């Protein structure tokens, strides 16, 4: 297994600064989400804000295929889009749920966070989906403390989600974060308690349950980015960047 880096207090301070901007962007964009707003308008507002704070959008130009780098500052994922929705001319509509995922790089270090927002009046199922997904994030974070195992985090997420009758996505996971947007270890939202690497103080993790109202199966669209639920049912996504400590994890994107 690849080495998991332990961050110094200085590094944690730099990650915290990027995470602060992430939290501010999520608040800013959340207040702008409304019926009739186009997703590219949200994207432009987010990029302008990040740059005004001395940061750089972490997702823009990201990717492993140079011919198909991610074009947006935000991932804007609506209803059955799980993650990596590309902001474009699509209009947001009442009754939808909109997941906003944003990454920021400042001072050489990254922050990453996500929230799912309701648009107007949403169905009871969607209300419950958002609540359970966000609760599962905090159940996972509660296990992210020194001495516990990595998969204690995912097991706590999985248990809460499946008890509610929903499904955690298996094909996409959380991750370590620091000098790189994605570092070791991978942080799945499922697993066996007591397995995986032992967590240590100073590890920085992006924990991000992606929860489907139906089955956990997903499909990748032809654009090479957009991930949808296989059964067309809605999905929700909540994410925080945290630091492992001896006690409760410190949430940097609060």
The series of mean pLDDT values per 10 residues for the chain, 254 residues long, is 87 98 98 98 98 98 96 98 98 98 98 98 98 98 98 98 98 98 97 97 98 98 98 98 97 97
- If one counts the domains in the chain, the total is 1
The answer to whether 215 and 115 have CB atoms below 8 angstroms apart is no
* Cis amide leading into 185 (omega within 30): yes
Residue at 3 is within a domain: no
Tokens of 196: 């995986």
Residue at 1 is within a domain: no
**Counting Cβ atoms within 10 Å, is residue 168 exposed (0-12), middle (13-18) or buried (19+)?**
buried
What pLDDT is recorded for position 1?
Answer: 53
Closest-CA residue to 18 (of 108, 137, 116): 108
Q: The domain spanning residue 193 has which CATH number? A: 3.90.230.10
Angle at 62 between CA 58 and CA 65, to 5 degrees: 175
Domain that holds residue 127: 9-251
Q: What is the Cα gyration radius of the chain?
A: 17
Indicate the DSSP class of residue 239: B
At 228 the three-state DSSP class reads strand
What pLDDT is recorded for position 2?
Answer: 64
For residues 237 and 84, what is the distance between their CA atoms, to the nearest angstrom?
Answer: 11
What pLDDT is recorded for position 3?
Answer: 84
């Amino acid at each position: 297994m690849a080495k998991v880096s332990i961050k110094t207090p200085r590094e944690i301070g730099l990650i915290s600064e990027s995470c602060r901007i992430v939290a501010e962007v999520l608040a800013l964009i959340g207040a702008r989400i409304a019926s009739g707003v186009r997703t590219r308008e949200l994207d432009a507002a987010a990029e302008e804000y990040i740059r005004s704070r001395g940061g750089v959008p972490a997702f823009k130009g990201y990717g492993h295929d140079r011919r198909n780098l991610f074009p947006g500052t935000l991932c804007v994922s609506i209803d059955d889009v799980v993650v990596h929705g590309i902001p474009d001319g699509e209009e947001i509509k009442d009754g939808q749920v909109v997941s906003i995922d944003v990454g920021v790089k400042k001072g050489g270090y990254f922050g990453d966070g996500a929230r799912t927002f309701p648009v107007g009046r949403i169905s009871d199922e969607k209300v419950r989906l958002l609540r359970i997904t966000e609760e599962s994030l905090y159940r996972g974070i509660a296990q992210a403390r020194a001495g516990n195992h990595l998969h204690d985090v995912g097991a706590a997420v999985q248990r809460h989600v499946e008890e509610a009758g929903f499904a955690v996505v298996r094909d996409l996971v959380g991750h370590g974060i620091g000098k790189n947007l994605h570092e070791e270890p991978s942080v799945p939202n499922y697993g066996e308690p007591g397995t995986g690497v032992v967590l240590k103080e100073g590890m920085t993790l992006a924990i991000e349950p992606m929860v489907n109202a139906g089955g956990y199966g997903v499909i990748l669209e032809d654009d090479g980015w957009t991930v949808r639920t296989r059964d067309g049912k809605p999905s929700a996504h909540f994410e925080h960047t945290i630091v492992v400590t001896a006690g409760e994890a410190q949430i940097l994107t609060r």
